[in-house]
Amino acid sequence: MTEAGTLTRADLAESLHKQVGLSRADSSRLVEQILENMCGALSRGENVKISGFGTFVLRDKGERVGRNPKTGVEVPIAPRRVLTFRASQMMRDRIVGS
């Protein structure tokens, strides 16, 4: 990893290069294609499930009333679509087990 706690596209491509033996250019292209396919599926409203890793889920949140914490004034919060990630049980076991 290039920075503490951050895994970048370059790190993923470098890992592919070292572990699979693809050229650096091919590794980089493969990472970009995977991410592009994931983004495309999510933009079409599809969920993305990666077995053993987790699921990216789109949720539509309705309009609701929020409150300004400083003033206490109620403000309407517009409906929106949010992206959530739910780690698989295998991933949770690996994270908690470390």
Under a CB-based contact definition with an 8 Å cutoff, are residues 48 and 18 in contact?
no
Pairing of the two strands 54-61 and 48-50: antiparallel
**Is residue 22 domain-shared with residue 61, that is, in the same domain?**
no
Going by C-beta distance under 8 Å and a sequence separation of 6 or more, which residues neighbour residue 14? 24, 27
Phi-psi map region of 81: left, alpha, beta (phi>0 left; psi -120 to 50 alpha): beta
Residue 56's domain spans which residues? Answer: 47-98
Where does the pLDDT of residue 3 fall: very low under 50, low under 70, confident under 90, or very high at 90 and above? Answer: low
pLDDT tens-digit series, residues 63-82: 999 999 999 999 999 999 99
**Is residue 54 domain-shared with residue 94, that is, in the same domain?**
yes
Where does the pLDDT of residue 26 fall: very low under 50, low under 70, confident under 90, or very high at 90 and above? Answer: very high
What CATH number corresponds to the domain at position 80? 4.10.520.10
Under a CB-based contact definition with an 8 Å cutoff, are residues 22 and 30 in contact?
yes
Position 2 pLDDT exceeds 90: no
**Is residue 60 domain-shared with residue 89, that is, in the same domain?**
yes
Q: Say how many domains are in the chain.
A: 2
pLDDT tens-digit series, residues 8-24: 999 999 999 999 999 99
Give me the percent of the chain exceeding a pLDDT of 70.
Answer: 95
